[in-house]
Structure 1
Amino acid sequence: MSFVDLAHLKKKDIQGGVLTYVRRKTGKVLHIELLPEMIMIIRRYASEVKDSPYLFPLLTKDGAGYESALRLQNKRLKRVAKILGLNVKLTTHVARHSWATIARDKGVDYSYKFKINNHE
């Protein structure tokens, strides 16, 4: 999932264990069944977004702050890459596609992997 889509997810987007949202790049409606690991991540941030409509603490209540959230996340990823000695400009975009490659190499169900990454 792209960072912009992740940042704009709202609590109301989850119904009956399924996350439904509109992909900002394409306008396509996507439905993703939440796995237990995903639910654990969402619960981890629940207390930080108590008074916000958003699922994660990336945007303000009124939806502002996307650009600064993206910059901060990319800065954190750059630090991770440096700590790990990676000679790559690690960004949210690179991380997203790296995950897809690793998932493929580890035998993750192809249809589910691409459903998560918004491909068909």
Structure 2
Amino acid sequence: MVWPNRYSSLWHMIAAPVVWAVHFCAVYGGTALVCARMDAPGLARIGIAAASVVALGLIWWIGRRAWRQWDYASRANRTHGGPRAEDRREFLGHSAWLLAIVSAIGVIFVSLPALFIESCL
């Protein structure tokens, strides 16, 4: 079996939204668990902050790779005569970069309730 090139695969494009989804599940599940078992809003805040830092770091790394794949600044001539493999690679990089931005915004919004947690009730 031949594995696809990582730059031509759709998995590279959806990596950031997957990190966002895992972060969402971890934050809400972990907060529910901590509040139900221990009633410790401070621990929930620390957990949300730690998960958010890790998720934003991963999304930043994915976005940086996508920016390099997009390769926007290196080509001065933007005319295209027809579809090429390079165009597809750049499109996937552009899409992955935009999805990384949306995913980072999503992680920030999922993390905002940590600023307002005063009790687990």
Larger radius of gyration: 2
Q: Same fold (TM over 0.5)?
A: no
Give 1 or 2: higher helix fraction. Answer: 2
Task: Point out which structure has higher relative CO (alpha carbons under 8 A, 6+ apart).
Answer: 2
TM-score interval, normalised by the smaller of the two chains = under 0.3
Report the TM-score when normalising by structure 2. Answer: 0.25
Report the TM-score when normalising by structure 1. Answer: 0.25
